[in-house]
Amino acid sequence: MAFAKSVWRLLVAIKDGLMLALLLLFFGSLYAALSARPAAPQLREGALLIEMKSAVVEELQKTDLQSVLTGNVGDPELRERDVIRALRGAATDEKIKAVAIDMSKFGGAGFVHAVEIGDAMDVVRKAKKPVLVYGTMLGDRGLLIASHASEIWIDPLGGAYVEGLGGQNLYFAKLLERLKISAHVFRVGTYKDFVEPYIRDSMSDPSRAARKALLDTIFAQWRENVLKARPKAQVDKVVADPVGWFKASGGDAAKASLAAGLVDKIGTRAQWGDAIAKIAGEDKSGDEVPAPGSFAHTTLAAWLAGHPDKKDGRVIGVVTVAGEITDGKAGPGSAGGERIAKLIDAASTKKLAALVVRVDSPGGSVTGSEAIRAAILRQKARGVPVVISMANVAASGGYWVSTSGAKIFAQPGTITGSIGIFAVIPSFERALEGWGVKGDGVRTGPLAGQPDVLTGLTPEIEQILQANIESGYGRFVGLVAASRKKTPEEVDRIAQGRVWDGGTAHQIGLVDGFGGLDAALADAAGRAGIKDGAWHAVWLGDEVGPVDQILRQFGAQDNEAGDDDAADWVGMVTQRQRARLASAVVGAQRLMAVRGAQAYCLECEVGASRAGPTGQTRSWMMVLARWLAL
């Protein structure tokens, strides 16, 4: 027994020693990284290399230690404004001979982002500098960006295709009835169809008509943009007869893409790199033998570091409202109302000349949206001009926030509107009764203990909740009416939860003009009485601390080590299948994430950069489903 205890103490001591050594190693590495001076950016003569390995987004998500330790970190996202600044800069940078864009693992982009990146690529080409894109599987958004290149290379095992917009939603009404779960829906707006999956088994006629009009318009803009950049592309043929187009090349996706003029050349990444090397020069950065397909280049990160934004002149603040709007401190990468409101209030110390609110959000919490709007109004009360810049999506709560601006800029492909409010509360009294569980008790009034998701909602609380939602809708319509100088009746006719494309929104008066972030900044400067060039933009809350930089680096390294997704046609299908299954789970989770009044747009996922809501939501439905399966 004594021997066993001695062995146990030895094992514990070894374990403690190893843990101490690991902790010392970790904190030593962390200290070294924090105290080390950043290396000078490697600005080489050659090509500007932009690797689009993940999604192009409006705002980078924050990286946390837990995600890194669990390996739950994807490829590093690209911020749209960084890509555009580098592309425009490459047009006049004497060291840059060409632009190479690697889209072999492209993670997606919002429609407006894709259009704006394509426009920036056109600037490079007008400067007589070639832009060469390499892809494996290029869908609609990838093809929209790539179509603006001088040459599109596709992997022999890959291809380009025209997917089109739309698809099918899941409707849970019959499942909820089978599980005896009651979905209590409170809403205002004929077209506010976010709640339809929980009360119907199919799409309503108003929702179908509105969604079809939106998708047809956005797809027409996509088609026009692609054909303007590549007039010989047989887009209509691919859309009309995809099976015939595919089989005509023997089922070879790469050859089919080439035959339809969607791409220019078929080749490996090494062959693509060799073609760039003939323009930009060979890679002579190291002593070792260069890898096949290497070429002289400057990375996107190095170019940005070597060409920092100017800091002279007066300050125009830019606050980003990106992702689902929530009440708390979520983000960056999602729009926590409390966090963004604090950023705006804290900007008072920066002596802002003007404020631009960049919105890329399908909405979310009404109270979170109002917290952001109220903070913007506090800046306006100090005499700070406020201008709104809409990106891919600015609808529901995103439009609620936008009512605070003196002028609203959007793009024709921006998705906006969806002026409506809803709330969904599930209750489980029927499901519990089936298991022999029933509620009983006494109350001093019909509101006592309500709303009760376990024993059901009383008629009185249901009427009060509906009245509250109607009041919130009236407030929303009133905000829009005051902002757009319309009567509430006029706004109500174009509201009702309906979603509009940016072009139509301009016609009906929901936005003031077309333009990107640059147009909004210039307008804000003019309102502040600042001459051209006498200002610079400061993104509020955009500072990335050294710890976050280290975590991003560790996460990127871990992801590269485990990046084994197939990149051919079948691999694309399986990745889409995983995304579809994840979307189904999210749809179920949304019902059970009991929240307050919501101004959220379901259709807006068409234009979004990221699919689905940010963060994780605990789901009573999933818990109940597991319990019933026992």
Q: Does some domain include residue 346? A: no
Please give the full DSSP string across 339-407, using - where no structure is assigned.
Answer: HHHHHHHHGGGGT-SEEEEEEEE-EEEHHHHHHHHHHHHHHHHTT--EEEEEEEEEETHHHHHHTT-SE
Q: Does some domain include residue 476? A: no
* pLDDT given at position 583: 60
Number of C-beta neighbours around residue 371 at 10 A: 21
Cβ contact 509:484 at 8 Å = yes
Question: Which segments of the chain have a pLDDT < 70?
Answer: 1-8, 10-12, 15-17, 20-41, 63-75, 286-287, 543-596, 602-603, 605-630
* pLDDT given at position 76: 77
pTM summary value: 0.86
Give the helix/strand (H/E) hosting 136. strand 131-138
CA distances from 129 to 95, 96, 114, 115, 125 (A): 11, 8, 20, 20, 5
**Three-point CA angle 112, 535, 388, nearest 5°:** 35
* pLDDT given at position 558: 45
Residue 401 CA to residue 321 CA, distance in Å, equals 9
Residue 170 CA to residue 563 CA, distance in Å, equals 30
Could you give the 3-state DSSP secondary structure of residue 64?
A: coil
Q: Which of 269, 283, 301, 270 is nearest to 47 (CA)?
A: 283
* pLDDT given at position 99: 98
Cβ contact 191:210 at 8 Å = yes
**Three-point CA angle 528, 534, 537, nearest 5°:** 75
- For the chain, the residue count is 630
- The DSSP bridge pattern shows strands 78-79 and 56-57 to be parallel
Half-sphere exposure of 241 (CA within 13 A, CB side): 8
Q: Does some domain include residue 97? A: yes
Number of domains in the chain: 1
Q: Which of 100, 133, 123, 83 is nearest to 281 (CA)?
A: 100
Q: Which of 105, 106, 117 is nearest to 148 (CA)?
A: 117
Cβ contact 238:245 at 8 Å = yes
Tokens read off for 324: 């689902």
pLDDT digits (tens, 9 = 90+) for 527-550: 999 998 899 999 998 765 554 555
Give the helix/strand (H/E) hosting 157. strand 151-160
Tokens read off for 246: 């595919």
Q: Does some domain include residue 125? A: yes
Residue 72's domain is classified under what CATH number?
3.90.226.10
Ramachandran angles phi, psi of 501, nearest 5°: -75, 160
* pLDDT given at position 292: 87
Half-sphere exposure of 89 (CA within 13 A, CB side): 19
Tokens read off for 553: 């680096």
Q: List Cβ neighbours of 318 (8 Å cut-off, separation of 6 or more).
A: 355, 356, 357, 358, 517, 521, 537, 538, 539, 540
Q: Does some domain include residue 11? A: no
CA distances from 455 to 425, 427, 434, 461, 496 (A): 13, 7, 12, 13, 32
The amino acid at 146: A
CA distances from 546 to 42, 172, 293, 370, 550 (A): 20, 46, 34, 33, 6
* pLDDT given at position 613: 40
Cis status, amide bond into 332, omega within 30 of 0: yes
Enumerate the β-bridge partners of residue 51: 102
Residue 619 CA to residue 589 CA, distance in Å, equals 5
Structural domain span for residue 274: 46-161+230-306
Please give the full DSSP string across 295-335, using - where no structure is assigned.
Answer: --EEEHHHHHHHSPPP--SEEEEEEEEES-EESSS--SSSE
Q: Give the catalytic positions in this structure.
A: 192, 396
């080749």: which residue's tokens?
Answer: 267
Number of C-beta neighbours around residue 312 at 10 A: 8
Q: Does some domain include residue 133? A: yes
Q: Does some domain include residue 355? A: no
Please give the full DSSP string across 281-294, using - where no structure is assigned.
Answer: ----SSSSPPPTT-
Q: Which of 147, 171, 169 is nearest to 160 (CA)?
A: 147
pLDDT digits (tens, 9 = 90+) for 369-410: 999 999 999 999 999 999 999 999 999 999 999 999 999 999
Q: Which of 25, 76, 23 is nearest to 555 (CA)?
A: 76
Q: Does some domain include residue 356? A: no
Residue 195 CA to residue 167 CA, distance in Å, equals 18
* pLDDT given at position 614: 40
Tokens read off for 602: 């379901």
> Where are the extended beta strands (E) located within 8-74?
46-51, 56-57
Q: Which of 58, 195, 595 is nearest to 365 (CA)?
A: 595
* pLDDT given at position 193: 84
